[in-house]
């Protein structure tokens, strides 16, 4: 579908995609956050969709509910709410409807026919050009949203090993994770995978910080691990929260392995040359989608324009 985004903002990005014959599947919904999970963004509101990560609380946000072998955790709903993660069991909002459209397009590309997945298409990297554009917010909300789809499973991998945004939002603390598997300190991915009390939702933390994290992510073991995950968990979507393109070379490596890339772009902040640079970094992936974020929503073109239909609060 055609993106609902201002062409002046991404015209260079679109030109880059055309010149490089990249499949342009821009999702491009103008999403925003007004400070309440039950409110959509009004015409004069421009609040950040992904606020600064909440500080660690005295009570851990994720509590182990069984022995380490099973690695099951209970997510703190209050902590998720504080980080503006959508309650997908609650009332529909403009933001949740926009994300529903995005997640279903993502699923359709990964599973073009019932029960059939294109090779590697279930590997989805979520990145941005600059830090703070909302990629971790997008990753978490899409993961939890996909988990509500009948018969769908989702695995969220925190590959932003420097910031570890997913773990910070959820409140994981120090947990073994991706880096421990890549370094050989853990033999199997299943040993670091955390199952949650939300059905069909599991995650892999970034792991214990290491000086050689960049080399581990760029190594052959990482590519092999992703391919193994795609095949072993072929019935589920694997979302990879990757670092921003302008601060890390990791997206360049990951783009050659994943089947889809979601590029989060912040409206009125990210420059066109930054978008072009970021798209150049992920050009190895032939399925690149753009999500315009933190937009001042108007009534010109906006999903939820007739908000009273679902009781949206404006």
- Within a domain: 279: yes
- Buried b / exposed e over 253-292, threshold 16 CB at 10 Å, is bbbebbbbbbbbbbbeebebebbbebbebbbbbebbbbbb
Band the pLDDT of 115: cuts 50, 70, 90.
Answer: low
pTM over 0.85: no
Q: How confident is the model at residue 314 (pLDDT cuts 50, 70, 90)?
A: very low
pLDDT digit string, tens, across residues 135-154: 999 999 999 999 988 888 99
pLDDT tens per residue, range 218-236: 888 999 999 988 888 888 8
Indicate if the pLDDT at residue 35 is higher than 50.
no
Q: Would residue 24 count as lying in a domain?
A: no
Tokens of 258: 């994943």
**Dist CA 268 CA 48 (whole Å):** 12
**122 domain residue, yes or no:** yes
pLDDT, tens digit, for every residue of 79-114? 888 888 888 887 888 888 888 889 888 888 888 776
Which conformational region is residue 304 in: left (phi greater than 0), alpha (psi within -120 to 50 degrees), or beta? left
pLDDT confidence of residue 37: 25
Going by pLDDT thresholds of 50, 70 and 90, the confidence category of residue 297 is: low
CB neighbour list of residue 34: distance below 8 Å, 6 or more residues apart: 40, 41, 42, 45, 47
**In-domain check, residue 265:** no
Q: Number of folded domains in the chain?
A: 1
Cβ-proximal residues to 143 (8 Å cutoff; 6+ apart), any chain? 154, 156, 201, 203, 239
**CA-wise closest residue to 281 among 6, 16, 4:** 16
Structural domain for 130, as ranges:
61-260+272-283
Over the stretch 50-60, which tens digit does the pLDDT of each residue have? 332 222 333 34
Nearest C-alpha neighbor of 13 from the set 286, 298, 275: 275
Instruction: Write down how long the chain is.
Output: 314
**Whole-number Cα distances in Å, 181 to 39, 43, 141, 143, 176:** 41, 47, 26, 22, 8
Burial class from Cβ neighbours inside 10 Å (0-12, 13-18, 19+) for residue 108 reads exposed
Helices (DSSP H) in the chain: which residue ranges? 7-19, 77-82, 94-110, 135-147, 165-170, 178-183, 213-218, 220-232, 250-254, 272-281
Separation of alpha carbons 31 and 303, rounded Å: 9
| DSSP annotation string for 80-110 | HHHTT---TTS---HHHHHHHHHHHHHHHHH
- Give the CATH number, domain containing residue 80: 3.40.50.300
Cα–Cα separations (whole angstroms), residue 302 to 30, 93, 138, 195, 305: 7, 12, 19, 36, 5
Whether 178 maps to a domain, the answer reads yes
Report CA Rg, the chain.
Answer: 18
- Domain-embedded: residue 300: no
- Does 128 map to a domain? yes
Virtual torsion, Cα 171, 278, 300, 46, nearest 10 deg:
40
- Domain membership flag for residue 254: yes
């Amino acid at each position: 579908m055609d993106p609902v985004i201002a062409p002046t903002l991404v015209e260079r990005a679109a030109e880059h995609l055309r010149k490089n014959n990249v499949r342009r599947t821009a999702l491009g919904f103008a999403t925003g956050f007004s400070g309440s999970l039950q409110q959509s963004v009004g015409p004069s509101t421009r609040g950040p969709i992904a606020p600064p990560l909440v500080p660690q609380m005295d009570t851990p946000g994720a509590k182990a509910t069984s022995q380490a072998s099973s690695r099951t955790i209970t997510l703190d709903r209050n902590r998720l709410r504080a980080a503006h993660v959508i309650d997908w069991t609650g009332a529909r909002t403009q933001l949740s409807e926009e994300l529903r459209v995005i997640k279903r397009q993502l699923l359709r590309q990964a599973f073009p026919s019932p029960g059939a997945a294109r090779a590697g298409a279930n590997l989805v990297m979520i990145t941005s050009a600059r830090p703070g554009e909302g990629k971790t917010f997008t990753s978490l909300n899409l993961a939890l949203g996909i988990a509500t789809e009948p018969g769908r499973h989702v695995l969220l991998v925190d590959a932003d090993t420097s910031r570890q945004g997913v773990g910070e939002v959820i409140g994981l603390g120090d947990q073994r994770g991706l880096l421990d598997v890549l370094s050989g300190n853990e033999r199997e991915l299943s040993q670091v995978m955390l199952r949650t009390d939300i059905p069909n939702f599991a995650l892999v933390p970034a792991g214990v910080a290491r000086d050689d994290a960049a080399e581990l992510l760029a190594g052959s073991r990482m590519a092999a691990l992703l391919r193994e995950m795609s095949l072993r968990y072929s019935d589920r979507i694997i979302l990879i929260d990757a670092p921003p393109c302008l601060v890390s070379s990791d997206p360049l490596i990951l783009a050659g392995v994943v089947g889809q890339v979601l590029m989060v772009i912040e409206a009125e902040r990210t420059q066109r040359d930054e978008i072009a640079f970021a798209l150049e970094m992920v050009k190895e992936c032939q399925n690149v989608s753009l999500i315009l974020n933190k937009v001042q929503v108007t009534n010109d073109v906006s999903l939820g324009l007739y908000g009273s239909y679902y009781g949206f609060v404006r």
